[in-house]
Amino acid sequence: MTPTPQTLTAERILEATEEVLRRHGPAKATVVDVARALGVSHGSVYRHFSTKAALREAVTKRWLDRTSDSLSGIVAEDRDPEARLRDWFTALFAAKRRKAGDDPELFATYMVLTEESGGAVGEHLAELTGQLRRMVQAGVEAGTFSTDDPDATARALFHASRRFHDPRYAPEWEQPGTEAEFDAVVDLLLRGLKA
Amino acid sequence: MTPTPQTLTAERILEATEEVLRRHGPAKATVVDVARALGVSHGSVYRHFSTKAALREAVTKRWLDRTSDSLSGIVAEDRDPEARLRDWFTALFAAKRRKAGDDPELFATYMVLTEESGGAVGEHLAELTGQLRRMVQAGVEAGTFSTDDPDATARALFHASRRFHDPRYAPEWEQPGTEAEFDAVVDLLLRGLKA
DNA sequence: CAGCTGACAGATTTCAATATCTGTCAGCTG
DNA sequence: CAGCTGACAGATATTGAAATCTGTCAGCTG
């Protein structure tokens, strides 16, 4: 039952920053704007994030983590690894395409953010290939997949499917035939994985 | 034995434009510069290319065609389709990586040009997937490959390997481990293709 | 008279003056 | 005294006036 203007916390700053980015876009969002939205001076924001870049990277990390978290459910399921892999790719592509289609401006904002925060993106890519590796290993243990280096194979799967999750291809995702191309690539990859 | 200032031809304009682009970069290269380099008025250039965009697209087309032409030799060889495919991917990756590494500024210039000339790029992609399709079909006829739709498979091969020929990934091509990733992706794709 | 020139209008880019923002810190406040 | 404020210096962004460029075309030239 506490009212909104509680103590200033990193979490509240991140929420306000997301809102400011949504409203103003990445080029015009300033930390003065964020401070104003919170009713504090901009000096207070610097008490929690030492730099504007650090603040933006933290927002980026939250956004990327939301995607990995939603996919981790599929990885954890107790099912045929091939079906899980297929569903994982489908879910990743669908999530990205939905975000890009529903709110193109916000998507463009996060594209700018990811380009500038190399560290958070690197961690995100590592997390996703880690999820792939777990499913590949499950398939190898079940005898349906065959590979001598599950980690390298996981990275290969990730790179071979970039056309369908790398934001830079977003403009091509709505063109006719993309769905069929996605299916053809996934089919080819899963065939190559079979024992 | 004719001296340089011959009659003004589309070919000579294209050569001069390439030179101006190399010198000034895509942002500062003007058609006045091109005319000056040729010793004519800029009005004369417009007699051969109706628009600055058309001129730039023609330059782009020439550059893209040079790549496809160098690869068509591999397609035409009378050899095991699997070996040809592997060599084709290797040659494409090597050519792109060499261009990006040898003269990064010129490569950046052509990246800008390709982004603005959609038509020429579309044709180039169609040419490359056409080359892939011919090798896939040869493999199907030889009984070493299996697919119900060689054209869709060719496009899948192309998209699955974009990490290694799409210029947007050029900054990642020099990072250690890229070679191994390339091999892993090609191995996976060729495995998926086998009968 | 086929091909080139150069002046022109409107669009785009450049540049420098001005305004705003980032990051710091001495001091205020509850 | 922990946490916040607001003034400040240097860096970055905005703005609008001036310069340059694109595309056209009437007329020149060989």
CA-wise closest residue to B190 among B148, B152, B153: B153
Q: Is the pLDDT of residue A60 over 60?
A: yes
Tens-place pLDDT, residues B46-68? 999 999 999 999 999 999 999 99
Tens-place pLDDT, residues A61-97? 999 999 999 999 999 999 999 999 999 999 999 999 9
What's the CA gap between B87 and B73, in Å, rounded? 11
- Kindly state whether residues A34 and A81 are assigned to the same domain: no
- Kindly state whether residues B103 and B31 are assigned to the same domain: no
CATH of the domain at A79: 1.10.357.10
Do the Cβ atoms of A193 and A136 come closer than 8 Å?
A: yes
Do the Cβ atoms of A101 and A47 come closer than 8 Å?
A: no
What's the CA gap between B96 and B87, in Å, rounded? 14
pLDDT on residue A5 = 57
Domain span at B17:
10-48
- What percent of chain A stands above pLDDT 90? 95
Nearest CA in chain A to B152: A184
**Residue A19: left (phi > 0), alpha (psi -120 to 50), or beta?**
alpha
For residue A1, is it within any domain? no
- Kindly state whether residues A37 and A88 are assigned to the same domain: no
- Kindly state whether residues B97 and B119 are assigned to the same domain: yes
What's the CA gap between B195 and B193, in Å, rounded? 7
Contact across the interface for B155 and A189, Cβ inside 8 Å: no
What's the CA gap between A155 and A130, in Å, rounded? 9
pLDDT on residue B5 = 57
Do the Cβ atoms of B54 and B110 come closer than 8 Å?
A: no
pLDDT on residue A7 = 86
Q: Is the pLDDT of residue A48 over 70?
A: yes
CATH of the domain at B40: 1.10.10.60
For residue A26, is it within any domain? yes
Nearest CA in chain B to A157: B185
The gap between B43 CA and D26 C1' (Å) is: 13
- Kindly state whether residues A71 and A120 are assigned to the same domain: yes
pLDDT on residue A2 = 33
Mean pLDDT of chain A: 95
pLDDT on residue A4 = 47
Identify the residue whose Cα has the smallest distance to the C1' of D22. B52
Interface check B159 vs A, CB under 8 A? yes
Q: Is A8 helix (H, G, I), strand (E, B) or coil?
A: coil
Number of domains in chain B: 2
pLDDT on residue B7 = 86
CB within 8 A of B183, min separation 6: which ones?
Answer: none
Mean pLDDT value of segment B92-97: 98
- Kindly state whether residues A101 and A126 are assigned to the same domain: yes
Q: Which nucleotide is nearest to B41 (CA to C1')?
A: C5
Please provide the distance, in angstroms rounded to a whole number, between the alpha carbons at the two ends of chain B: 58
For residue A121, is it within any domain? yes
Tens-place pLDDT, residues A83-138? 999 999 999 999 999 999 999 999 999 999 999 999 999 999 999 999 999 999 99
Angle between helices A104-116 and A81-102 (to 10 degrees): 110
pLDDT on residue A195 = 87
Question: CA dist A152 to A36, A106, A121, A167, B159, Å?
Answer: 48, 33, 19, 23, 19
- Kindly state whether residues B40 and B96 are assigned to the same domain: no
